Amino acid sequence: MAWVSVAKTSLSVEVKAKSNKSRNMADTLWEDREVRFDIPLYQMKMRPGEKILDKLDPIEDTKGNGGDKGRLVITNLRVIWHSLSMPRVNLSIGYNCIVTAATKTVNSQLRGMTEALHILTKSNNTRFEFIFTNLVSGNSRHFTSVMGVHKAYTSSRMYRELKLRGAIIHNKQLKILPLEQVYTTVPGVWNLSSDQGNLGTFIITNVRLVWFADMNENFNISLPYLQINHVKIRESKFGPALVVECAEYCGGYVLGFRIDPKEKLQSIHKELISLQKVYGQVPLFGVQFKVGEQTEANPEPTALIEDVEEFDEKVDELSNAFVAYFADTGHEKDREPVYSPELGLTIEKLKDGFTLQSLWEVIPSA
């Protein structure tokens, strides 16, 4: 097997080109990484490990669906809004896409001039902005909940992301995350990232696999089970090695470690496979948030997303609803006027990829 040293980070790790098409949870997880519009019911339901932290209604989607009462569902991965009268009109906003979340004075069709939650996002190199207005007078729960959960999400990335050369070890001891439990510490583990290898220590917990060099604890790697595709034993030029294949989302690295004796190698291999399987059934994303007592004034919603009736739509059909949420921050001047045969009028030239029909489709039905 040909091993190649990764050059794009200061920590050399072992990687090889792979044709393996298998995808683990990290490669299929989209809820916190994407902004989606008018998603089908099954995508509104909670995936394993996703939890509803707060629910509010009535909430108005002031920018895209002004005048329509809806529900705001705040989970540990995303913010979901859906219309109460037409659930197929909905939004899913992943926390990893949020650039800023703040308050803004807006003119709501249902509340008039009022303070609203303004969220600016970036998804697939496109900026969207969202404005949510709480229709319960004097209630700011949507501010505190969304901002608080987003902050908790941002501060808990170690649960979900591969980290190289992080400040995770102090005096040979792992800095434990909240909710984390150390299961096994294995000294004498060789990281096969160089011709001679680097001797270090494995620390196996309920959420991640950690390795650090004995001579330099800053030479380390923190790898959550979320980012692991496969754990195998393979032959290498150093003899039998523990091989950890990472998800494509975090770079598709393949890490190699040597553990002696062989019985210990097999024991660690079985333990990691077992822990990865358990984690996959109930992932721990690390986002902790409790709704404060000051938010209890908001009435409890009468139904959950799971209670919404299934609606008929083509799952693969692209929605044009996103047009209403464009954050055209780079707009400096109007586009040139062009004649529209459909309208018999001169109009501003449309952006590439858009038609008059697609613009009409985002207008809510009366």
User: What does the buried/exposed string (b/e) look like for 3-25 if buried means 16 or more CB atoms within 10 Å of the residue's CB?
Assistant: eeebeeeebebbbeeeeeeeebb
Map residue 349 onto helix, strand or coil. coil
pLDDT at 258: 95
Q: How far apart are CA 322 and CA 310, in angstroms?
A: 22
Which residue from 133, 132, 222 is spatially nearest to 175, judged by alpha carbons?
A: 222
pLDDT at 190: 95
* Long-range contacts formed by 13-18: CB under 8 A, 24+ apart: 13/164, 13/191, 13/193, 13/221, 13/253, 13/255, 14/192, 14/193, 14/253, 14/254, 14/255, 14/256, 15/251, 15/252, 15/253, 15/254, 15/255, 16/254, 18/245, 18/252, 18/254
pLDDT at 10: 34
Report whether 190 contacts 268 (CB < 8 A): no
Write the single-letter amino acid at 340: S
pLDDT at 4: 32
Q: What is the CA radius of gyration of the chain?
A: 25
pLDDT at 111: 75
Q: How far apart are CA 322 and CA 54, in angstroms?
A: 25
What is the model's pTM?
A: 0.77
pLDDT at 359: 62
pLDDT at 321: 60
Q: How far apart are CA 44 and CA 160, in angstroms?
A: 21
Helices (H), the chain: 25-28, 41-44, 141-154, 262-281, 356-360
Instruction: Identify the segments of the chain with pLDDT beneath 70.
Output: 1-23, 292-325, 327-335, 351-354, 358-366
Q: How far apart are CA 119 and CA 117, in angstroms?
A: 7
pLDDT at 90: 95
In order of start, what are the domains of the chain with their CATH numbers?
4-25+162-281 (2.30.29.30), 35-156+289-332 (2.30.29.30)
pLDDT at 6: 34
pLDDT at 360: 60
